[in-house]
Amino acid sequence: MTPQEYGLATFRSGAEPPRAGLAIGERIAALDDLVRTCPSSSHERLAGKSVLDLLQDWNSALEAADNLRAALTETVVQDHFRAFSDIAICPPVDLPRQVFCTGANYRKHVVDLTLDMGVGPEGLDAAGLRRWAENMMDERAATGEPYAFTKPVSTIAGAYDALILPPLDEKPDWELELGVIIGQGGRNISRADAMSHVAGYAIVNDVTSRSLIGRTDYRQLGTDWLRAKGQPGFLPFGPVLVPAQFVSNPYDLHLKLSLNGDVMQDEDAADMIFDIRRQIEYISRYARLMPGDLICTGSPAGNGTHYNRFLKPGDLMVGEITGLGRQAIRCVATGSARPANG
């Protein structure tokens, strides 16, 4: 039997603590409530668990969630599921223990940045510089390795939380990305086995202060990802974790981010230079992956740097990825409150 599609999410109602939920479209119900309504020894494995808890024994949890989804009747859905807009949606894994990001991982994005910044051999016109950058990316894909770094878990926010912006001179920028959630950890994971370690997928936005990336006090240090990418709220995550079984080919997924209704990013995940298998292989060579860890797989073209347009108070970012839902992030000035579902 083919499992019926659903997502796992975490939500909060009023002053209650966060609860794990099962989401269908943009409606959600607490797993504990559904387990009581649809009693079964299989469903009991979901009771009293957070999404992070479920990821510690993912295969068992996935089987139980599939069985629970199949047991839901229209009456149960009508009686127990609430709209996302009626509650506060938290990050689906609240919180992962580790966050890894893969930088400069979309071919067109890196080529565009090369042209935007005018970086390359002297004497080339725009067409020549583009050819040089494209050849460099092809060579990197063939012989290079992913460029990975970590991001503090304190950056994580919900899919509808407001983003408190740093000052405009930090050039806050958006980076809509495909997030990969690990369901089975390990070290030195082979490329051939890598996808069996993936629990599911989610939307992430790797917000970045562009002017803080490069160190100017001691240039030999190079980049400073802590201050550029590590500020609170700089990683909207969710709204849901969609199990990998519902994503037949992650490279067919389409990523689109609009800013105040204008489409800025609009690209397929197939433009990745290093695919998910190679990222997992590389990261696990140097760090131990754990269930629930989040990998942000890189940003497609169309960041604020390309448009010379950075985030300002009042901006609304809407991020969408095929089958993974949507984020809606309102930008507010420093010192403003961070309302849930803003």
pLDDT in tens, 16-38: 999 999 999 999 999 999 999 99
pLDDT of the residue at 124: 87
- DSSP 8-state class, residue 81: -
Write the CATH number of the domain with boundaries 99-105+146-332: 3.90.850.10
In the predicted model, is pLDDT for residue 122 greater than 50? yes
pLDDT of the residue at 88: 97
In the predicted model, is pLDDT for residue 335 greater than 80? no
Model confidence at 249, pLDDT cuts 50, 70, 90, reads very high
pLDDT of the residue at 120: 82
> What are the residue boundaries of the structural domains of the chain, listed by start?
7-90, 99-105+146-332
Model confidence at 2, pLDDT cuts 50, 70, 90, reads low
Please, which residues bridge with residue 11 across strands? 19, 89
In the predicted model, is pLDDT for residue 114 greater than 90? no
Average pLDDT of the residues in 306-326: 97
pLDDT of the residue at 244: 98
In the predicted model, is pLDDT for residue 168 greater than 50? yes
Element (H, E) at 108: helix 107-117
In the predicted model, is pLDDT for residue 341 greater than 50? no
Average pLDDT of the residues in 118-132: 85
Percent of the chain with pLDDT over 90: 85
Please, which residues bridge with residue 179 across strands? 202, 296
Q: Measured between alpha carbons, how far is residue 29 from residues 98, 196, 268 in Å?
A: 27, 28, 31
Average pLDDT of the residues in 196-224: 95
| Under 8 Å between Cβ of 185 and 291 | yes
For 248, residues 6+ apart whose C-beta sits below 8 A from its C-beta are: none
Whether domain 7-90 has CATH 2.30.30.230: the reply is: yes
Q: How many CB atoms lie within 10 A of CB 117?
A: 9
Q: pLDDT digits over 44-102, tens only?
A: 999 999 999 999 999 999 999 999 999 999 999 999 999 999 999 999 999 999 999 99
For the chain, what is the mean pLDDT? 94
Model confidence at 340, pLDDT cuts 50, 70, 90, reads very low
In the predicted model, is pLDDT for residue 317 greater than 70? yes
pLDDT of the residue at 107: 92
Question: What is the residue type of 70?
Answer: A
Whole-model pTM over 0.85:
yes
pLDDT of the residue at 181: 99
**Same fold across 7-90 and 99-105+146-332:** no
Q: Tell me how far apart the alpha carbons of residues 137 and 145 are, in angstroms, rounded to a whole number.
A: 11
Model confidence at 338, pLDDT cuts 50, 70, 90, reads very low
pLDDT of the residue at 339: 44
